[in-house]
Amino acid sequence: MIVSPPAAPTSALRASIGALTTTIAVSVPVFLVGGLAVQIGDELRFSPAGLGLAVSAYFGASALASVPAGFLVERFGATRVSRAGIALSVASLLGVAAFANTLWSLILILALGAGANAMGQLASNTALSRHVPPRRQGLSFGIKQAAIPVATLLSGAAVPVVALTLGWRWAFVFVAGLAAAALLLVPDEPAAAAAKPAKAAKRATGALIVVGVGATLAAGAANALGTFLVDSAVARGISPGPAGLSLTLGSAVCVTSRVLGGWLADRWPGRAVTMISGLLLAGAAGLGLLAVPGGLPLVAGVVLGFGFGWAWPGLMNFAVVRLHPQAPAAATSITQTGVYAGGCLGPLGLGFVATHASYPTMWAVAAVAMLGAAAAMLLGSHLLRRHADGGDPRARSSF
């Protein structure tokens, strides 16, 4: 009988490439809907409010799927769940192309495919924690989180390349093919025994919930920029062109900040959460500037609010994974739930404030929310440090 040799260990480079491409593949459906909103809205006859409802439903479903997805990763391994998440994302993209005929059918298909986002994100976190050396994990998590803006850019590129020539449904088919290619880049791993959640993760659940609350406040405030910035700027007398360009600038700063923040975290791991709080304080100042009339406050506000106030997710994942190396998916599923909840509730709540008060009031509320997020992160850091006492020294150094 011929016995197959054991699978070779996964290299840090292969794990990083797999995490990056998986993250893009599982998150692209919602961004593609946003990028093609004009074409889809014209055919399905929904307003920007309908688009907001669809996006909120997607992130709400992602929040509900996050903890179960973490269990699946710990039970079946990062490789199998990554591939399942990519396959579900591809099915969602093809489902929108074939069956989305009304706003409600679009929302249903997006919500059913939202589990792919949770599965892929948590599987990627686990792959990085297990195959990237600790001294480079901060940078790897920063690059992984920078994949989210890349998914946005891919969605934007689909408009002139496919949507305006063949139609928006073919754009979903085209992107589904690209997402399916990510299956080839998920590294194989030896079958491993099911891992039980680490005791440290259970003892730190309360602390992780506090960090998750901070993530909810921060994500809700930061997501308001992408949702309301242009309309808010136009209401203050600024043309849509400069407003859109300022958001593009903010996105570029955000990508750079996510990667640079991860690089710095590898050099000063004991300051990871301190850096998060600093980024959130800068983001709060930026959101406050958006309440001030004028083009200069707009640009400065977007760079600070989006470029720095939305640059922390990789640092958060890095810090939590270092404390829970035996169960990274279970631990980050709690904090990731907060990120998704912010993506769902933030635009809805702040949109209500803008409608019934004003945009300057909304930006002020968003700034206060981001200040609250910074405080919650500091409190969560203190609680996590207490749970790390007596454990792995490298885990304690993250806080």
Same structural domain for residues 308 and 352?
A: yes
Max CA pair span of the chain: 77
Domain end point (choices 115, 150, 185)? 185
The residues, any chain, with a CB within 8 Å of residue 160's CB and separated by 6 or more, are none
Residue 192 in domain: no
The residue type found at 14 is: R
CA distance 101 to 304: 39
Mean pLDDT calculated for residue range 168-179: 89
Determine the pLDDT at residue 387: 67
Q: pLDDT tier at 32 (50, 70, 90 boundaries)?
A: confident
124 plus 101 within the same structural domain: yes
Arithmetic mean of pLDDT, 300-316:
88
Residue 1 maps to a domain: no
Flag whether 44 is in a domain. Answer: yes
What is the number of other CB atoms lying within 10 angstroms of the CB of residue 205?
A: 14
Asked whether residue 249 falls in the same domain as residue 116, the answer is no
26 lies in the same domain as 100: yes
pLDDT at residue 2 is higher than 60 = no
Q: Are residues 38 and 163 in the same domain?
A: yes
Note whether residue 191 is domain-resident: no
For residues 297 and 272, state if they share a domain. Answer: yes
Specify the number of domains making up the chain.
2
Instruction: Output the domain CATH number for residue 52.
Output: 1.20.1250.20
Q: Decide if 7 is inside a domain.
A: no
Q: Is residue 194 part of a domain?
A: no
Of 107, 23, 19, 116, nearest in space to 65 by CA: 116
Distance of CA 309 to the CA centre of its chain: 13
Specify the range with the lowest mean pLDDT, choosing from 97-106, 281-290, 302-311. 302-311
Top mean pLDDT of 105-109, 151-155, 245-249 is at 105-109
What tokens does 309 get?
Answer: 């106030």
Cα–Cα dist 175/155, whole Å: 8
Cβ atoms of residues 273 and 381 within 8 Å: yes
Sign of CA dihedral 344, 350, 352, 354: negative
Model pLDDT, residue 156: 59
How would residue 171 be classed by pLDDT, with cut points 50, 70 and 90?
confident
Asked whether residue 164 falls in the same domain as residue 212, the answer is no
Q: Is residue 4 part of a domain?
A: no
Name the DSSP letter for residue 197. Answer: P
111-144 per-position pLDDT tens digit: 999 999 999 999 998 988 888 888 888 888 888 8
Q: What is the per-residue pLDDT for 250? A: 79
Decide which of 185, 209, 233 is a domain's last residue. Answer: 185
Same domain, 121 and 230: no
pLDDT at 261 over 70: yes
| pLDDT at 90 exceeding the cut of 90 | yes
**Residue 24 and residue 150 in contact, taking contact as beta carbons nearer than 8 Å:** yes
Look at the alpha carbons of 285, 310, 216, 231 in this order and tell me if their dihedral is positive or negative.
Answer: positive
In a domain, 156, yes or no: yes
In contact, 228 and 244? CB cutoff 8 Å: no
What's the pLDDT score for residue 60?
92
Average confidence (pLDDT) over 376-396: 69
- pLDDT score at 13: 83
Least confident of 33-37, 59-63, 211-215: 33-37
- Based on the fold, state whether residues 225 and 372 are members of the same structural domain: yes
For residue 182, pLDDT beyond 50: yes
The predicted structure's pLDDT at residue 297:
87
Lowest-pLDDT range of 155-164, 184-193, 220-229, 349-358: 155-164
Looking at residue 194, the DSSP 8-state letter turns out to be P
Instruction: Give the residue with greater pLDDT, 132 vs 148.
Output: 132
289 and 250 both lie in a single domain: yes
| pLDDT of 80 over the 70 cut | yes
What integer is the mean pLDDT of 324-343? 86
Q: How far is the CA of 279 from the CAs of 82, 258, 276, 316, in angstroms?
A: 30, 10, 5, 12
The pLDDT score that the predictor gives to residue 118 is 93
What ranges in the chain are assigned the alpha helix state H? 12-35, 37-44, 48-76, 78-99, 103-131, 137-158, 168-181, 199-203, 205-235, 240-267, 272-289, 295-302, 313-323, 328-356, 359-388, 393-396
Which residues constitute the domain of residue 370? Answer: 199-396
Provide the pLDDT confidence category of residue 1 given band limits of 50, 70 and 90.
very low
Residue 155 pLDDT class (50, 70, 90 cuts):
low
Confidence tier at 390 by pLDDT (50, 70, 90): low
Domain termination site, one of 158, 185, 212: 185
For residue 245, the model assigns a pLDDT of: 74
| Residue range 11-19: mean pLDDT, rounded | 85
Same domain, 330 and 276: yes
d(CA 309, CA 277): 9
- At 157, the pLDDT band (50, 70, 90 cuts) reads low
Residue 252's pLDDT is 82
Q: Is residue 172 located within the same domain as residue 209?
A: no
